[in-house]
């Protein structure tokens, strides 16, 4: 509920701190005293439009702060989580600052935010019924959600929403496949030719890099062969190369100075070390023997590798031409398809799938259409359950509202919830359009409740709806702006009784000119306008208001309240009869 409303330099309000309680709070005062400024300020604080002319004349800025005590599990907690905001100790503080240059600043628990965020949060906390009409009982666009809240349709709505999402997925998938198929059919000739070209190449991702490496090897064949022969000559010591099969010659021809290959020299060294080991130096020479042995193994491995390289280099003289031709085909097809060589393998897969879709289109389309048909059937079933429940709930709502109308002196009036169902109009909220209608006189045609002719009748219809919906309304605070307009006597008494009843469930604030309604409040605030010290001129302020006028609001004691209600009954001249009548109203209101 709204616990505190603080206003600074707003229109005619200088400084105001209102502490608000539970139940029904009535606000009274003479016409022009500034009662509407309170609603203007509260509306601005919950995100409605702000303008510089709302700043009190002579002030630099205006500020409004509203403090709410939030009940557990209230919908505002969900909104806060989505916005990344937190509140402590169930206290939500909304603040709006209006600056003279037309800009405004918004805060939630002193964290900067936007006016849109204030409105999003404020709409879950308070409803101002009157000129603002935040939640739109007068707007048919909101009637369906009001009926669903009354009926408690959370689970049924969730089922409809889930089935609607599944239906959208099935529709989108079928539409996508149809588009792909249509495109494939238009391009079938090209698709088959392009697939044949790519299949002839048989591209692989990464093959071009491997081919380029192979081409570089083959292009430098002569240099590589010469280097291999030199390496083999150094290892073998003779002129035969790696493929000659042996070490250098014993008589010193060819190769190195010793006439022996590296392998032969290592063998000689090993045998000499063995002889030394046999003469007693075995333990000391063991590491040297092992090293020479390893060196011999490595030399033999090097010789074997050199033989393999020589054989590979001599295996296919036409290999370079083949590599060049394949690289050319890769690049040619990549340019043709506006991609890179590595794009060709995935492209071939896509073309194949396209052809498969053409070949298997009938079976695939039938399968998707069957999925879509099941999704539609599931949605229709869920929507029909929701629609049936809405019709049943509409009858209960109509009976509840109709039960309130005679109490509010609308004996001839009728209320009816109209539901129009369009089975093909599938949406996430079902297939129903809901409108609240009313007929104010016997025999009159039903029209939308927003078209009810009399302002007083409309106010009472809205009050009847609020009473009917109070148990299902998550809003902890309701504000009525002159809901008793155009009524008096017994009708005003009935309006007051209904406001009292409503205030047992939620916090209710009402601006009233009716003494019968004013007497029903658990709390009574009087709004007055008086002279104040003259202020320096400045930007802002109301152009038709004297700068030394100020609006004030204060709670009334029991005696002050009796006198205020007597004034409302008799005017400026209080009489004993008016005071007695006021006392009677107050006494009766407590029964």
Place 247 in a pLDDT band, splitting at 50, 70 and 90.
very low
pLDDT value at residue 259: 44
Q: Whose structure tokens read 């029903």?
A: 520
Place 313 in a pLDDT band, splitting at 50, 70 and 90.
low
pLDDT value at residue 265: 73
* Range with the poorest average pLDDT among 131-135, 403-407, 468-472: 131-135
Place 543 in a pLDDT band, splitting at 50, 70 and 90.
very low
Distance (Å, whole) CA 181 – CA 353 = 11
Mean of pLDDT values over 351-379? 85
* Range with the poorest average pLDDT among 13-22, 190-199, 311-320, 471-480: 311-320
Question: What does the block give as tokens for 67?
Answer: 């403090």
Distance (Å, whole) CA 45 – CA 52 = 14
CB-based contact 98:65 (threshold 8 Å): no
Task: Count H helices and E strands in the chain, helices first.
Answer: 18, 15
pLDDT value at residue 22: 92
Distance (Å, whole) CA 212 – CA 393 = 76
Place 84 in a pLDDT band, splitting at 50, 70 and 90.
confident
Mean of pLDDT values over 489-501? 86
343: which DSSP letter? G
* Range with the poorest average pLDDT among 66-80, 165-179, 359-373, 461-475: 461-475
Distance (Å, whole) CA 133 – CA 48 = 11
pLDDT of 128 above 50: yes
User: Is 328 exposed, middle or buried (CB count within 10 Å of its CB: 0-12, 13-18, 19+)?
Assistant: exposed
């Amino acid at each position: 509920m709204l616990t505190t409303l603080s206003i600074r330099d707003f229109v005619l309000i200088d400084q105001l701190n209102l502490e608000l309680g539970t139940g029904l709070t009535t606000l009274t005062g003479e016409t022009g005293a500034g009662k509407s400024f309170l609603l203007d300020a509260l509306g601005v604080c919950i995100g409605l439009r702000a303008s510089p002319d709302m700043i009190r004349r002579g002030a630099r800025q205006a500020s409004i702060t509203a403090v709410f005590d939030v009940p557990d599990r209230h919908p505002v907690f969900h909104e806060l989580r989505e916005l990344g905001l937190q509140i402590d100790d169930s206290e939500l503080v909304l603040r709006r600052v209006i600056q003279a240059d037309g800009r405004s600043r918004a805060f939630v628990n002193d964290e900067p935010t936007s006016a849109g965020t204030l409105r999003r949060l404020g709409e879950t906390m308070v409803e101002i019924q009157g000129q603002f009409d935040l939640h739109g009982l007068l707007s048919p666009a909101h009637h369906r959600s009001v009926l669903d809240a009354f009926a408690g349709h959370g689970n049924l709505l969730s089922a409809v929403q889930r089935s609607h999402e599944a239906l959208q997925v099935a529709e989108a998938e079928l539409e996508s496949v149809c588009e792909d198929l249509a495109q494939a059919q238009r391009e079938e000739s090209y698709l088959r030719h392009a697939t044949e070209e790519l299949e002839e190449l048989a591209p692989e991702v990464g093959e071009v890099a491997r081919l380029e490496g192979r081409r570089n090897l083959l292009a430098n064949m002569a240099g590589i062969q010469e280097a291999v022969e030199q390496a083999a000559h150094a290892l073998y010591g003779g002129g035969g190369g790696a493929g000659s099969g042996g070490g250098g010659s014993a008589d010193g021809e060819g190769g190195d100075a010793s006439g022996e290959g590296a392998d032969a020299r290592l063998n000689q060294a090993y045998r000499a070390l063995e002889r030394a080991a046999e003469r007693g130096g075995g333990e000391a020479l063991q590491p040297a023997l092992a090293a020479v042995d390893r060196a011999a193994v490595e030399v033999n491995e090097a010789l074997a590798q050199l033989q393999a390289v020589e054989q590979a280099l001599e295996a296919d003289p036409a290999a370079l031409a083949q590599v060049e031709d394949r690289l050319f085909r890769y690049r040619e097809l990549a340019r043709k398809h506006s991609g890179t060589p590595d794009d060709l393998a995935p492209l071939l897969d896509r073309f194949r799938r396209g052809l498969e879709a053409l070949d298997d289109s009938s079976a695939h389309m039938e399968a998707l259409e069957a999925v879509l048909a099941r999704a539609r059937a599931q949605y229709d079933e869920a929507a029909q359950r929701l629609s049936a429940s809405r019709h049943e709930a509409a009858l209960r709502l109509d009976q509840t509202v109709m039960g309130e109308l005679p109490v509010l002196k609308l004996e001839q009036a009728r209320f009816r919830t109209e539901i129009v169902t369009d089975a093909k109009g599938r949406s996430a909220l079902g297939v129903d359009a809901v409108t609240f209608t009313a007929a104010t006189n016997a025999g009159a045609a039903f029209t939308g409740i927003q078209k009810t002719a009399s302002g007083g009748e409309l106010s009472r219809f809205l009050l009847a709806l609020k009473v009917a919906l109070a148990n299902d309304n998550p809003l902890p605070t309701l504000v009525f702006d002159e809901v008793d307009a155009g009524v008096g006597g017994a009708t005003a008494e009935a309006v007051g009784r209904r406001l009292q009843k409503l205030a047992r469930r939620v916090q209710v604030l009402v601006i009233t000119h009716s003494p019968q309604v004013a007497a029903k409040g658990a709390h009574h605030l009087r709004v007055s306008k008086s002279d104040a010290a003259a202020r320096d001129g400045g930007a802002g302020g109301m152009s038709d208001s004297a700068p030394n006028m100020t609006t004030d609001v204060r709670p009334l004691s029991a005696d002050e309240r009796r006198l205020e209600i007597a004034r409302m009954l008799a005017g400026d001249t209080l009489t004993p009869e008016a005071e007695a009548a006021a006392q009677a109203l107050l006494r009766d209101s407590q029964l």
